Amino acid sequence: MRIADVLRSKGSDVVSVQRETTVWQLLELLAQHNIGAVVVRDGDSVAGIVSERDIVRRLHSGGVDVLSGPVSAIMTDLVVTCVPEDSVDSLTEIMTERRVRHLPVMVDGRLAGIVSIGDVVKSRVAQLEQDREQLVSYIAQG
């Protein structure tokens, strides 16, 4: 299964913010959309990504003053991305090796979606279920 298939199933909407958005505003977006990470944009390009984990770590080290600062101060700016042609299996490896849970999907340098570890797991479970059904059908015919 390819990432394009995952996006077709879940949609390609991406919640994003600009670099100057405050961490407090980011928290509101995360809660409002029930998501764990947001892409940070610099105009039309991807400048970084910021997750709940990033917020917690910075709160621990920097205190509550972090909340009034910009997301650019806490974001991860070396963003691991993927393309629609990538396989779900390859993303599983990347997410495990790089210890990331969200990957922006890029097409011709533009943001086309985002895939989370939950999306990858859901896709793998669906594939395993389909494989099981095919085996049961094959055995029933034999």
Residue type for 61, please? S
For residue 122, what is the domain's CATH number?
Answer: 3.10.580.10
**Number of domains into which the chain is organized:** 1
Contact in structure between 3 and 114 (CB atoms under 8 Å): no
pLDDT at 142: 67
The C-alpha atoms of residue 60 and residue 41 are separated, in whole angstroms, by: 25
For the chain, the DSSP string reads: -BHHHHHHHH-----EEETTSBHHHHHHHHHHHT-SEEEEEETTEEEEEEEHHHHHHHHHHH-GGGGGSBGGGTSB-S---B-TTSBHHHHHHHHHHHT-SEEEEEETTEEEEEEEHHHHHHHHHHHHHHHHHHHHHHHHH-
Residue with tokens 């980011």: 26
pLDDT at 42: 86
Strand order in the sheet with 45-51: 16-18, 37-42, 45-51
Q: Which domain holds residue 22?
A: 3-141
pLDDT at 141: 85
Q: What is the pTM of this model?
A: 0.85
pLDDT at 73: 95
Mean pLDDT by 10 residues, the chain (142 residues): 92 94 96 96 89 93 92 94 95 93 93 93 86 86 76
Orientation of helix 117-141 relative to helix 88-98, angle to 10°: 140
The C-alpha atoms of residue 61 and residue 24 are separated, in whole angstroms, by: 16
